[in-house]
Amino acid sequence: MGKKGWTRVIVEKPFGKDLASSEALSSHLSALFCENQLYRIDHYLGKEMVQNLMILRFGNRVWGPIWNRDSIAAVQLTFKEPFGTQGRGGYFDEFGIIRDVLQNHVLQMLTLVAMEKPASTSAEDIRNEKVKVLKSISKLTMEDSVLGQYVGDPNGTGDAKDGYLDDPTVPKDSSTPTFACCVLYIKNERWDGVPFIVKGGKALNERKAEIRIQFRDVPGDIFVPGMIQRNELVIRVQPNEAVYFKMMTKTPGMSFSAEETELDLTYGSRYKGVVMPEAYERLILDVFAGNQMHFVRTDELSEAWRIFTPLLHRIERERPSCIPYVYGSRGPKEADDLINRVGFRFTGTYRWTKPQL
């Protein structure tokens, strides 16, 4: 490389298709560049709410004592798209939803939720803690996963009438999942036994990416059975960035009953007129500044593939039938059954109301 200035190489995903191909790519790159010259870009690490996780966790004392298995029942990380492959199924069919979303975007959010407090805000201290989390996660199994593939809605309009296999670029016998719900466990002192549910899919009922941290039931509940629901801290990554804490309060008026409400920080209301940069803008600026905080290190990538590769190879080897779900739905019912089985409680009684200011 040049004797003057600097060399920084941006590498866009996919970073391989499994552990072996990823390590082959990393080996090739390491023969040409040093680690401090490589910037593996995952644009979710440039999103406002994902970058806010560090401040939210380590800049507020209130969360420290309860951010563990003693207080948290489950963590759910969700990525939903309301559209299908729309003619790019040929590309998607080679990768599927696990490689496209879960192994990278969603897993990166998980590491920031679960990691220990780093020694500083330096890139290496932060990435060291993320790698420690990944090393503590067991390999994913089919038994802890639900795989789905969308079918057309006969009552829908436009693209909603077409299923995944109706895309002319998709093989007619494809068993590639367009939806996956998987449960990961972190075997360390902080998180042992807490399910981390990672879920992603196409052709679902809404566009949404969020982190939902559900706390345990109130011990010694003195109220009417079923009245008190679990607290939740929700970080909405997109759209309409927000952080809100779901809590119980007395129903206004003469009654002595309780209802669900929230402490709400909706960015569109609190920070009116503030223009937030796009994720790639932030990250490319970081490259110019030489800041690797929001980029994926080689060992971090290797650990991420270690977790998902056994499941991916089993899917390719056995070609299990995906559970069909209708375009525009919430996904397979079996995913809700899995989530309920591992301890996440969904009641459907709460509705977030966008603030009107």
Known catalytic residues?
105
Phi-psi region of 17 (alpha: psi -120 to 50; beta: other; left: phi over 0): alpha
How many helices (H) and strands (E) are present in the chain, helices listed first? 9, 11
Burial class, 286, CB count within 10 angstroms (exposed 0-12 / middle 13-18 / buried 19+):
buried
Q: Which residue has the tokens 């003693």?
A: 70
Main-chain phi, psi angles of 160, to 5 degrees: -65, -20
Sign of CA dihedral 179, 337, 233, 357: positive
CB 331 within 8 A of CB 204: yes
Computed on alpha carbons and rounded to an integer, the radius of gyration of the chain in Å comes to 21
**DSSP helix/strand/coil, 125:** helix
Structure tokens at 171: 């093989």
In eight-state DSSP terms, residue 112 is H
Rounded CA separation 65/130 (Å) = 20
C-alpha pair distances (Å), 145 with each of 139, 186, 337: 12, 16, 11
CB 216 within 8 A of CB 71: yes
Rounded CA separation 164/315 (Å) = 18
DSSP codes joined into one string, 48-109: HHHHHHHHHHHS-GGGGGGSSTTTEEEEEEEEE-SS--TT-HHHHHHHHHIIIIIIIIIHHH
CA nearest to 96, candidates 215, 198, 177: 177
